[in-house]
Structure 1
Amino acid sequence: MESATSDTFTAPTSSSTQAVVMSPCAACKILRRRCAADKCVLAPYFPPTDPAKFTIAHRVFGASNIIKFLQELPEDQRADAVTSMVYEASARVRDPVYGCAGAICQLQKQVNELQAQLAKSQAEVVNMKLQQTNLVALFLEISQSPQESPQQISVDDFIQSPSHSDGHHIGLNFLDDNTGLCSGWDTLWT
């Protein structure tokens, strides 16, 4: 009888039947409970290599709420739910008052500012295209009109300042000696 009991406690000697030691998931390790990895609802989502992930979610939501929430969801949605819970918990730790809503509000504000900048840039592009179109039309008009000889248009025609109906100069010509501006420029060049 004694030999039978000693045979049951001996370890297997063949290499094909080695026992696999599984470390508990991060959730069970933090909660200090026994983890049956195949039955633990938290094990697939909180691996033992990343304990901070469970710690932050546990701090905000609590372990029982996380477990209950995961059990109510279909398995294909659980990974996304855990990612969302961890994100929401980290946002709540960073901003205890607003949490994710504060982050969303800040991002929405940035989106609105960028949309306003984009609208302004698009308006500038439209304005530049209109100016380009007007310039092309002006050049076409000048090229199609009968051209005057270059000697008929002199530089003095462009420099002459307009005059009032009584014959006095308005004083828009800055090169005119009568305005006194030219004398101020002479001292800059000497």
Structure 2
Amino acid sequence: MASNRCAVCKILNVTCEPTCICKPHFPSNSTRFQDVHQIFGAENVLKILNSLGEVEREIAANCLCYAAEARRRDPVSGVYGMKLHYESILNDVEQEIKSALNELETNLGPDQVPKYFDIPIPDDFLNTTASLDSYIEKIKNLTTVEKNNLLQFWKRENQKMGDDHRVDGASTSAGPSTALGEKHQ
């Protein structure tokens, strides 16, 4: 019976019941639980999964795996470091696109350059397991048109925020502090 224990029950050295909530997410032969256990601890994972409903458990398990893998890859910054890295890549690509659009406008005229696109999103996008490698491969395999579509989508989302807000929602319209102005007079 011990060989049927899930990875969490093996670590905690307890009997794994047939109704164990961890078994579907971390089976005994799963290697993805090693990082999760090392970063968050098996007891904490069990507490988290116990506090959630059945639907949320799958999402939480995937998020824990994703965060643990990110922390393993970058022990200092984790997911935030990855966000900054990919944000930098997107900014570089955005600059390349702006340059290409400027060149197209120069050669073809501004009316001939397409402005907006529909973004194809796979049906299983939210149901896939959280593996950084699969996301990285998907990004690498995007065509130039798909990358352009993705950037157009993010531009539209940022524009919805309004001209006087940054992407994170903080206002940029306040201007310089009055205290700064008084010091310089």
**TM bracket (short chain):** 0.5 to 0.7
Q: Is the Cα–Cα contact under 8 Å of residues 70 and 79 in structure 2 kept in the other structure?
A: yes
1:104 matched residue in structure 2 = 83
Given that residues 24 and 34 in structure 1 are in contact (C-alpha distance below 8 angstroms), is that contact kept between their aligned partners in structure 2?
A: yes
Superposed counterparts of 1:135-174, under 5 Å: none
Partner of 2:7: 26
Contact 1:24 1:37 in 2 (8 A): no
Report the CA distance between 1:102 and its aligned residue: 0.3
Structure 1: state its 5+ residue gaps.
1-19, 134-190
Q: TM-score, length-normalised on structure 2?
A: 0.55
Q: Distance in 2 between matches of 1:31 and 1:22?
A: 14
- Of 43, 47, 51, the match for 2:27: 47
1:162-181 CA distance string (max 9 Å, x none): xxxxxxxxxxxxxxxxxxxx
Mean Cα deviation higher: 115-124 or 20-29: 20-29
1:22: Cα distance to partner? Answer: 7.2
Give the Cα separation in 2 of the matches to 1:69 and 1:29.
18
Work out the CA distance in 1 between the residues paired with 2:15 and 2:98: 59
Tell me if 1:85 matches 2:64: yes
Q: TM-score, normalised by structure 1?
A: 0.54
1:89 Cα deviation from its structure 2 partner = 0.7
Q: Is the 8 A contact 2:9 2:15 kept in 1?
A: yes
Structure 2: distance between partners of 1:83 and 1:36: 22
Q: Which amino acid aligns with 2:66?
A: Y
1:56 and 1:69 map into 2 onto residues whose CA distance is 16
Report the aligned-residue RMSD.
Answer: 2.3
| Rg larger for | 1
Give CA-to-partner distance per residue, 1:86-114, whole Å, 9 cap, x none: 11011111211100100111001111111
CA distance in 1, matches of 2:67, 2:99: 35
Paired residues, number = 111
Q: Where does residue 67 of structure 1 map in the other structure?
A: 46
Q: CA deviation at 1:68?
A: 1.1
Which residue is equivalent to 1:144?
none
Q: Which runs of 5+ in 2 are unaligned?
A: 113-185
Partner AA of 1:23 in structure 2: N
> Identity over aligned residues, as a percent?
32
